[in-house]
Homo-oligomer: A and B are copies of this chain.
Amino acid sequence: MLGQMQHHPLRIIDILTFSAEAFHSQGITSVMEDGRRTRHTYPELLARTGRLANALDRLNLQQGDRIATLAWNTHRHFELYYAVSGTGRICHTINPRLSAEQLVFIFNHAEDRAVFVDPSLVPLVAELRTRLSTLDHVVVMGGRADLPSDARDLLCYEDLLSAAPSDYDWPDLPEESAAALCYTSGTTGAPKGALYSQRATVLHALMVVAGHPQSLRNGRAVLPVVPMFHVNAWGLPFTAPLAGMDIVMPGRSLDGASLYTLIEQEHVFTAWGVPTVWAGLLQEIRSRGGPPGELGDLVIGGAAAPRSLIAAYEEMGINVNQAWGMTEMTPVGSRGLLPPEVRSASLDTRVDAQIGAGRRLFGVDFKLVDENGNRVAHDGQTPGELYVRGNTIISGYYNDPEATARAMDKEGWFGTGDVATIDATGRLIVRDRAKDLVKSGGEWISSIDLENTAVGHPGVRACAVIAVPHPKWDERPVLVIVPEGDARVTLDEMHRHLSDRFARWQLPDDILFVDALPMTATGKVSKLTLRQTFADFVLPDLREE
């Protein structure tokens, strides 16, 4: 028997219309590219989003069309999130730090019809433009003064908004409609797209607000250091307005000193980002003698935070909450909400309880499986590959049936590639990776991609990439080479060889030569043995003079 309740599609735009009413005096402060700060309330942002929606219609962009962004964290990027999805189009955020090769692949694979680009990234688009086969419009996210003088076919964001009315009749789409697209360079081969629905995004926002009570506090300000091109800034552009928070968009300056000043001046209560950012802030706090203003909470994701970092912040009375997730998960899967019985415990006990990835959000299910796909116990001891299930998790990759087939198991669960333990109380600790990746500064680098290109160099007979721990970047890639004859390819030479396909930050930090690669019983290179062999290796930038 069915209930007798109304059915309305879950819609992303309803978050903004809600906040514009319920939290009418709150909004976004953005640090712009010139360093100025601008402030917009949610009612103002809703009106501007309505103008943008009308402008998109006038550009003759259709429902379902992919609209790319190449932009830092600003209120304009926020408006695009809502206007593009609210009109039934798909907001495709792109990481501007990828290589030209990767950018071209992603643009063309998504068949983006327009790109909205920050002024500083206009030259990047100009360089790629002839290779972007589906692109009709380039819109510069600024005023007339932000456009280059010679750019006749570029559109001006603020001109588009000024010319359009602010009222918009947001369509009722099926809640399963696509709303946003984000590529991950996660595992192997080409980047793969996660195509988020309206339903997944709204449920994720509700689940995360319900799951982060100590961080997403009504009436306080949140600083998303995590970029908006990176899995929707972990959902903050949706969760913060829903929770009734101010957002402080930091722009491009993410060093410790800039963040310290911003946090202090804008009364930031909680800040979200990868461990390297908080290590930088910690140095600044130490040099200034104390933490900034009202900072009371950090959410750390993208990589595991070292115990020392957690302890340093907790000692200052700043709550540290580790979260875990993936692009394929919208992205939050778990968070380190302290059990009530631990909250008034000693510093050591609290820090111990904050090691690991916390516990799952309501709405996300976990299972651990062995290499045969059989479930293993959640006993806190037995490691297994972590599979996840839920409304906020992909059912496959955008236009990529092969990658989809590799990622999903027979029961429809998504394989994360992380090897983890879960205890009887649901506590998740990620122990290792099943997939072969290097995680640097919160972003993935594919070992296999690097290896496939490196082995194309005439001086390389065989090679393997291993991840070496790094205090700032979490991990950095190092290339292990079996040379062809007497050849000893230099690091510079290898960088030149790789730089067509890879961004600078994806290139290996060093080369090590070996006579042969260690093999597993099944004939694969044993990365485990290699990592053990080079356990004492020190990365070039960490060597003492």
**B-contacting residues of A (Cβ < 8 Å)?**
1-8, 10, 14-15, 18, 21-26, 63-64, 90, 174, 176-179, 194-200, 203, 206-207, 209-210, 213-214, 217-219, 242-244, 330, 337, 339-341, 343, 359-360, 362-363, 389-398, 412, 414, 424-426
Contact = CB atoms under 8 A, between A and B. Distances in A.
A88 to B, nearest CB: 9
A265 B355 CA distance: 34
Given A210-B242, A425-B21, A394 B362 contact: no
A426 B3 contact: no
A217 B216 CA distance: 12
Contacts of A7: 176, 199, 391, 395
A395 B176 CA distance: 22
A4 B401 CA distance: 12
Contact of A341 (B10, B25, B90): B25
Contact of A340 (B21, B63, B218): B218
B218 A362 contact: no
Nearest to A3: B197
Given A177-B1, A359-B21, A359-B22, A6 B337 contact: no
A268 to B, nearest CB: 14
Contact of A213 (B21, B64, B217, B394): B217
A424 B22 CA distance: 10
A545 to B, nearest CB: 49
13 contacts: A3-B177, A3-B179, A4-B398, A5-B392, A5-B395, A6-B390, A8-B389, A14-B363, A21-B360, A23-B339, A25-B340, A210-B210, A218-B340
B394 A6 contact: yes
A219 to B, nearest CB: 3
Contacts of A200: 3, 5
Given A389-B6, A393-B5, A426 B21 contact: yes
B3 A198 contact: yes
A339 B6 contact: no
A193 to B, nearest CB: 8
Contacts of A397: 4
A18 B364 CA distance: 9
A213 B243 contact: yes
A480 to B, nearest CB: 36
A518 to B, nearest CB: 38
Given A14-B362, A217-B213, A243-B210, A5 B199 contact: yes
Nearest to A358: B22
A407 to B, nearest CB: 11
A7 to B, nearest CB: 7
A174 to B, nearest CB: 7
Contacts of A4: 178, 194-195, 197, 394-398
A59 B394 CA distance: 40
Contact of A5 (B3, B22, B174, B391): B391
B178 A2 contact: yes
Contact of A337 (B198, B210, B218, B330): B218
A26 B210 contact: no
B21 A395 contact: no
A419 to B, nearest CB: 20
B174 A244 contact: no
Given A5-B391, A22-B360, 9 more contacts: A1-B178, A3-B179, A5-B176, A5-B395, A7-B395, A18-B360, A25-B340, A213-B217, A213-B218
A179 B132 CA distance: 51
The 8 closest A-B pairs by CB, nearest first: A3-B197, A219-B340, A21-B426, A1-B64, A206-B206, A5-B200, A3-B178, A4-B195
Nearest to A414: B6
Contacts of A179: 3
A414 to B, nearest CB: 8
A468 to B, nearest CB: 35
Looking at A10, A24, A213, A426, the one whose CB has the most chain B CB atoms below 10 A away is A213
Contacts of A176: 2-3, 5, 7
A540 B343 CA distance: 54
Nearest to A220: B340
B14 A425 contact: no
A63 to B, nearest CB: 8
B90 A391 contact: no
Contacts of A3: 176-179, 195-200
A164 B348 CA distance: 43
Contacts of A395: 4-7
A359 B6 CA distance: 21
